[in-house]
Structure 1
Amino acid sequence: MSAPDSEADAALKEFVADEAGMRIDQWLAVRVGPELSRSRIQALIRDGNVTVNGTAMREAKRKLSTGDRIAIIMPEPEPAEPEGEDIALDILYEDDDLIVINKQAGLVVHPGAGNWTGTLVNALIHHCGDTLSGIGGVRRPGIVHRLDKDTSGVLVVAKNDKTHRALSEAFADHGRTGDLERAYDALVWGSPSRATGTIDAPLGRSGTDRTQRAVVRETREDARHAVTHFTVLDRFGEKQDATAMASLVECRLETGRTHQIRVHMAHIGHPLIGDRDYGKAFFTKANRLGEPLGNAVRAFPRQALHARLLAFRHPSSGEILRFEAPHPADLSELLAEFRRWSDAGKT
């Protein structure tokens, strides 16, 4: 399958079929599956936005012939101007160039499908007015990096384009040549066999749920290099063979892929407690904990992940800024329950 025509319009994707007999919706799902869902592809076909050899093709079942030229016309998204909303923010630092937030769990960073209001962007627009950087686009003003909805912790937002560019470059480099430092605390099931380690495993879209990620072969088209370094900070219910029921692990990212820590820890057999996407198979482990810890684990509403530390060089002053956010109440309480259980020797 050929690559998109580099001279095509930005809203136009063009391909040439190099095989015959496959349905056009199936062929496109293979070619652009990481970008568009099967249902979205079929909707584009129904609406006449897919052409074969210059003719609109409205039948998803139409089979391709070798050499057919396929084009997808991507309609412009409807403009969505987020409005400011008076949402409380835990501000760790603010100046004319940037603002650093301790994001609470449950807060979506920017508007998107199913979350057009009540996001961090809505809160920032209310707080900052028109001072946010426009580089991120109308739906992502000022956003340099993101945290999952149910991940808490430190996040920096740019107020002007100069700061946005500088911070974006630092995050793209992930501190390899600069001064960026990020550390996350994760409460995971079990305990890695080594106190420190590195997970080097490429990530791509999951084959069963396109909203999720999975470790994939390097040769896959959507594979993205991903490296996580971890250090075990504490073990709960540790046994003589050095295994444990759960562990508090610090994770530092060498790359920043979607759901990276969650997928990588699950990949090595230690999914995050509370992770309903990547740790479902471990949920029954709570039954082995007794009460009240078992109930606390079952009731924990999110993945136990907190962006504890963020340090970076200020784009204007050149000063190294370093911010740490303590564990939020829900995670602190869960850790306290694990420590009480572990100290009581209930393994």
Structure 2
Amino acid sequence: MLLTAEPADTGKRLDHFLQQRLPAFSRSRLQEWVKAGRVLVNGAAAKASFTLRGGERIEVEPAAPPPLRAEPEDLPLDVLYEDADVIAVNKPAGMVVHAGAGRHEGTLVNALLHRYGGLSESGGPLRPGIVHRLDRETSGVLLVARNDVAHRHLAAQFASRQVKKIYWALVEGSMRGEAGRIERPVVRHPEHRHRMTSRLETGRAALTEWRVLRRWENFTFLEVRIGTGRTHQIRVHLSDNRHPVAGDRVYGAKSPPRGGRFFLHAARITFDLPGGGPLTVEAPLPGELEEWLAAL
């Protein structure tokens, strides 16, 4: 596919130019092609932010479209609990929960499909069984629905805030007091679109409660309970409270990541089983986080 930048395109970013010239493809797919080196400007790979001067020869080699359904993949899976309706897994840091943003392999969903074959279809063909999510670099317990009835049952509990989710977080600095709550709406950052913010008056309601488990000179170890499940909620609430999660450079942490991750772990979840009765599932602190604490 060959395109030519016209004089009127002078000053445009490469990715914006591609969006205008190739409206049949989504912005994310075009950006994936740029990152993969499938877009050449005058014969050379360029970044999405490359500024056109007009007259450039732009070659685009489209990639095959992503799969319409998640596929099974033989990957390690740490199962904490399972019955005919629900699976609770211990997700490692670094693993994406489901396909998206150019990632279609190596996800938790791929591993689940290999182990169990079929899951709830309520979440769609790329997210079978997924009722809630954890960030890629957050480890810990995550629930999966094995059938649509269980999916609706669990989703209703999450929607009505009946599910109790407890996290462990190491944050920078010394928290003032021994416990507290942060209740501020969370919305996507207007300038940095990969981040969220709670410093604006708009957004979705979000509640984060915390209590101190242990203190060091420059760090505080917290137990965190969230009453809502907004994107990056714990990370953004603690960062905007001037105590970013240790290693979370996206939200202003000065301490470097360890083992490619920040210090946030989903330690415990309590919910009602579809068949009746409450259940609490716990995920132990991973070895790399134990070592992080021991090094303080």
Kindly name which structure, 1 or 2, has the bigger radius of gyration based on alpha carbons: 1
Contact kept in structure 2, 1:273 and 1:279, CA below 8 Å: no
Tell me how far apart the structure 2 counterparts of residues 100 and 312 of structure 1 sit (CA, whole Å).
11
Task: Give the corresponding residue for 2:23.
Answer: 47
1:243-254 equivalence runs, <5 A:
245-254=218-227
Residue equivalent to 1:5? none
C-alpha spacing 1:106/1:170, structure 2 compared with 1 (3 Å): same
Residue equivalent to 1:87? 75
The amino acid across from 1:188 in the alignment is: V
Give the one of 224, 228, 235 matched to 2:204: 224
Aligned to 2:158: 171
Give the stretch that moved more between structures: 209-218 or 245-254. Answer: 209-218
Q: Distance in 2 between matches of 1:88 and 1:46?
A: 39
Look up the match of 1:70. none
SS at match of 2:114: helix
Amino acid across the alignment from 2:211:
T
Deviations 1:71-115 (A, max 9, x none): xxxxxx975222101111110111111111011111100011221
- Output the amino acid matched with 1:200: E
Q: How does 1:177-216 map to 2 (within 5 A)?
A: 180-216=163-199
Return the alpha-carbon distance in structure 2 between the equivalents of residues 172 and 185 of structure 1: 23
Describe how 1:257-268 pairs up with structure 2 within 5 A: 257-268=230-241
Distance in 2, matches of 1:263 and 1:41, equals 33
Residues 114, 48 of structure 1: alpha-carbon distance in 2 compared, 3 angstrom cutoff: closer
Please, what is the CA RMSD of the aligned residues? 2.1
Q: Percent identity?
A: 46
Call closer, same or farther: CA 1:46–1:122 in 2, change over 3 Å.
Answer: closer
Give the TM-score taking structure 2 as reference length. 0.77
Q: CA deviation at 1:46?
A: 5.3
Which residue is 2:126 aligned to? 139
Once the two structures are superposed, the pairs formed by residues 1-347 of structure 1 within 5 Å of their partners are 43=19, 47=23, 80-130=68-118, 132-175=119-162, 180-218=163-201, 220=202, 223-237=203-217, 245-280=218-253, 282-283=254-255, 299-316=258-275, 318-338=276-296
Task: Please state how far the C-alpha of 1:301 moved relative to its aligned partner.
Answer: 1.9
Please, which runs of 5 or more residues in structure 2 have no aligned partner? Answer: 1-14, 26-64
Deviation of 1:192 after TM superposition, in Å, equals 1.4
Structure 1 segments of 4 or more deviating over 3 A? 39-42, 297-300
User: Which whole-Å CA distance do the structure 2 matches of 1:106 and 1:300 have between them?
Assistant: 10
Taking a change above 3 Å as real, the CA distance of residues 229 and 298 of structure 1, as seen in their structure-2 partners, is closer
Change (3 A) 1:299 1:95: closer
What amino acid sits opposite 1:228 in the alignment?
T
C-alpha distance after superposition, 1:166-222 (max 9, x if no partner): 1011111222xxxx211000000012111110101111111232121011433x4xx
Task: Tell me what 2:57 maps to.
Answer: none
| Offset from partner CA, 1:274-330 (integer Å, 9 cap, x none) | 1020024x23xxxxxxxxxxxxx56442110000001111012x1211111110000
Number of matched pairs: 244
